[in-house]
Structure 1
Amino acid sequence: MHPKDLSVHDFTYELPEQQIARYPLPERDSSRLLIYKEGALQEAIYRDIYQHLPPDSLLIFNNTKVVAARLLFQKPTGAVVEIFCLEPPPQYADMTTAMTQKGRVTWICLIGGASKWKPGQILEKKMSWNGQEIVLQARYLGKEKDSFAIELSWEPASLTFAEVLHVAGNIPLPPYIKREVEQADSDRYQTIYANTEGSVAAPTAGLHFTDTLFEQLDRKQIQREYVTLHVGAGTFKPVKSETMGEHPMHAEFIDVNTGTIARILQYLDKHITVVGTTSLRTIESLYWLGVKTVHEPNLPLEDLVVHQWDPYELNGMPVTAKAALESLLQYMHARKMDRIITKTSLLIAPGYTFQIPRALVTNFHQPQSTLLLLVAAFVGNDWRKIYTYALENEFRFLSYGDGCLLFRQ
């Protein structure tokens, strides 16, 4: 069956409100870990995950950093308009370029209270930072399909957009957490290795890792590599269409350097574990980028992207992971590129054939979400056994919840 024909109603379950984690545990690595291997389940704690991974294997993390993407503007009438900054428009080459704009930037946003904001009206917000006043203005440019184009400008113009968000914005906790953002969230809704700003949601599987746990991984010769996928709000949107063919996947920026691709090549015949669904989508996207360069070695860089249905519709002879990654490296070397920065809207659903990872570390995901579809693709119909066990044994679900280590059959 083509994933387009999958019914989302086949990927649902009853999630009790009390099992949605509203706060993280006091210690990151004390969350529970459900391990699925060869059809069997066992329980552990995250701080002991190194005991369940093979020595001389490779762990891949997403080092994206969550930005304070929620901006609240108060009108003179007292009405509040919330601007949720989703992503830069195509006029910016990549997320870093957009985040380092000075004085003015255009952004694609969601708006809460849009009916209170008349076209042409400029919203203004004043703040104090490091002894200077910052004035931030928002101008409504136009409506997209399900979002808005907004121009943000500020004084002093010497500040970057990243600096302005740091001062003016709030961390965007997922709506299912159902509480206001607290000071602790600015630390706990980031991984300890986050260093590349651009996400509007955390790569939550990584929230459980600590420096102490990294030391244990080092002792066992378990290597670490980092990729970047800037998580967009679309990743976590429940699927509302009857079939997957009607659900558009949101394109997200990925950024991976040649050294990381070379390291993945070294470990293809050993064991690769990905931490989080975003890391998994990134390395599988690298494979499909490589496949495209095998078929079209002179493909223009602007066309080297991964579309939602590429894995299911690209024609031609099958390409091994080794051949695909080697081809991608050759493509990059020929163009003197030390990193590949592009977009992926890869949808991984049952019917997908995985090329690179042998195991996945991930949290428990919402019913009828593309993330649950990815898990179902990874472990097959046993996803129901895994989730039923987690529900019956009171595991904590979603972003601040517990997680699982899933080995592919």
Structure 2
Amino acid sequence: MHITDFNYDLPVELIAQHPADKRDKSRLLIVDRKNGSIEHRHFYDILDYLNPDDCLIMNNSKVIPARLFGIKEKTGARVEFLLIKHIKDNIWETMVRPGKRLHKGDRVSFTVDGTLSAEILENGEGGTRIVSFQHDGNFLDLLDRVGKIPLPPYIERESDDEDKIRYQTVYCKKEGSVAAPTAGLHFTNELIERIKQKGTKIAYVTLHVGIGTFRPVKCDKIEDHKMHFEEYEIDEKNADIINQTKKAGGRIISVGTTSTRTVESAASHEGIVQAGRGSTGIFIYPGYKFKVIDSLITNFHLPKSTLLMLVSALYNREKIIQIYEEAVEKKYRFFSYGDAMFII
């Protein structure tokens, strides 16, 4: 398939720069694959489309304040780091800016008191650097103090205190992502409680979202694209919830593309989700046969993106593009802080 098959026109003013006033008051576009119908609702209406024998799968990864601004110790030059992958111990793969100023052996300070600094160990792939951090105290606590939330590049403003709350799901638990699993941003604690009261089960998985989620597909033929690997984990309890729901004939509803990629990567050929940890570079595009997922809650994604390709794999590429065009006409808000769709 050609990359242009996944293109659509999006007016820039429809790219959400801020979250909705309340999480579950964002709009929700319902897509019924059985009859091809579309409904325009709000996210809190999702209860009307859930059944007691359903299971929602949510990614509980937490976004870390991965943007760091520092000073190169030799020259005093200002530099920026973006942590993109934890390798081991204090070593991270990091995007740096400006890259031409940072070479092997260079050191950078991020705090005046010297509590957080880093040394460039070597060059990584795609212009990244492999970096070793030195710190006094807990590393994640220091990031909370001096780091910034790494908003996507299409949000054209600096992150603020509101983003520390709103660019996280209410159920986030395990630190490690540099981008939010955005389909989950629409859920409130109250809505989750009402979902549980209805009898719908919730299973939690963890996939730490990497910077690859923003990287464009540069191949003309999408089959030639290679995904970046991301780390995931599913424990026995939550794997059992998914497998028991599937065995009983209930729907498995994925909250977002990251949850989808996690369970599809962890599943056997028979569709049994295996508990454990792993690393996945799964690329889901039209023609893929889903082993676990039946339905999907997701935001509206960038043109020509792997996320749009995944959504198109669950339904139909032509119809998904038509739905996106209707969402544009109806002035839905797009991307991370935008509205959602539920493909049932």
Alignment TM class, shorter chain as reference: over 0.9
1:7 aligns with 2:2: yes
Name the residue aligned to 1:252. 230
Cα deviation 1:6-52 (Å, max 9, x = unaligned) = 21111111111100000001111100000000211001111111111
Name the residue aligned to 1:281. 261
Report the secondary structure of 1:234's partner residue. helix
How far has the Cα of 1:192 moved from its partner? 0.3
1:26 aligns with 2:4: no
1:394 aligns with 2:331: yes
Name the residue aligned to 2:307. 371
Report the secondary structure of 1:59's partner residue. strand
1:153 aligns with 2:151: no
- Of 22, 37, 41, 1:40 maps to 37
How far has the Cα of 1:118 moved from its partner? 4.7
Name the residue aligned to 1:317. none
Report the secondary structure of 1:383's partner residue. helix
Which amino acid letter does the alignment assign opposite residue 393 of structure 1? K
Name the residue aligned to 1:65. 62
CA distance in 2, matches of 1:121, 1:246: 36
Matched-pair contact (CA < 8 Å) for 2:295–2:343? yes
Which amino acid letter does the alignment assign opposite residue 148 of structure 1? R
Which amino acid letter does the alignment assign opposite residue 70 of structure 1? R
CA distance in 1, matches of 2:242, 2:14: 36
CA distance in 2, matches of 1:248, 1:271: 30
CA distance in 2, matches of 1:14, 1:253: 33
CA distance in 2, matches of 1:264, 1:53: 16
More displaced stretch, 110-119 vs 28-37: 110-119
Report the secondary structure of 1:88's partner residue. strand
Which amino acid letter does the alignment assign opposite residue 57 of structure 1? D
CA distance in 1, matches of 2:31, 2:81: 41
Name the residue aligned to 1:212. 190
Name the residue aligned to 2:341. 404
Report the secondary structure of 1:224's partner residue. strand
CA distance in 1, matches of 2:125, 2:315: 35
Which amino acid letter does the alignment assign opposite residue 180 of structure 1? E
How far has the Cα of 1:165 moved from its partner? 1.6
How far has the Cα of 1:193 moved from its partner? 0.4
1:203 aligns with 2:198: no
CA distance in 1, matches of 2:281, 2:199: 33
Which amino acid letter does the alignment assign opposite residue 91 of structure 2? T
- Of 113, 134, 140, 2:120 maps to 140
| Long gaps (5+) in structure 2 | none
Bigger radius of gyration among the two: 1
More displaced stretch, 267-276 vs 60-69: 267-276
Task: Give the length in aligned residue pairs.
Answer: 337
Identity of aligned residues (%): 40
CA distance in 1, matches of 2:251, 2:103: 56
Q: TM-score, normalised by structure 2?
A: 0.94
1:17 aligns with 2:12: yes
Name the residue aligned to 1:49. 46
Name the residue aligned to 1:331. none
Matched-pair contact (CA < 8 Å) for 1:56–1:220? no
Matched-pair contact (CA < 8 Å) for 1:236–1:370? no
Name the residue aligned to 1:385. 322
Name the residue aligned to 2:79. 81
How far has the Cα of 1:78 moved from its partner? 5.8
Within-5 A mapping of 1:102-117: 105-117=90-102
Name the residue aligned to 1:270. 250
Name the residue aligned to 1:298. none
1:120 aligns with 2:56: no
Name the residue aligned to 2:207. 229
CA distance in 2, matches of 1:219, 1:119: 56
Which amino acid letter does the alignment assign opposite residue 87 of structure 1? K
Report the secondary structure of 1:65's partner residue. strand
CA distance in 2, matches of 1:213, 1:70: 31
1:354 aligns with 2:334: no
CA distance in 2, matches of 1:67, 1:276: 19
CA distance in 1, matches of 2:177, 2:193: 27
How far has the Cα of 1:168 moved from its partner? 2.1
Name the residue aligned to 1:178. 156
What is the CA RMSD across the aligned residues, in angstroms?
Answer: 1.5
Matched-pair contact (CA < 8 Å) for 1:238–1:366? no
Report the secondary structure of 1:23's partner residue. coil
Distance 1:118 1:270, change over 3 A: closer
CA distance in 2, matches of 1:340, 1:86: 22
More displaced stretch, 262-271 vs 179-188: 262-271
Report the secondary structure of 2:109's partner residue. strand
CA distance in 1, matches of 2:168, 2:91: 25
How far has the Cα of 1:134 moved from its partner? 5.2
Matched-pair contact (CA < 8 Å) for 2:203–2:239? no
CA distance in 2, matches of 1:165, 1:247: 33
CA distance in 1, matches of 2:91, 2:114: 18
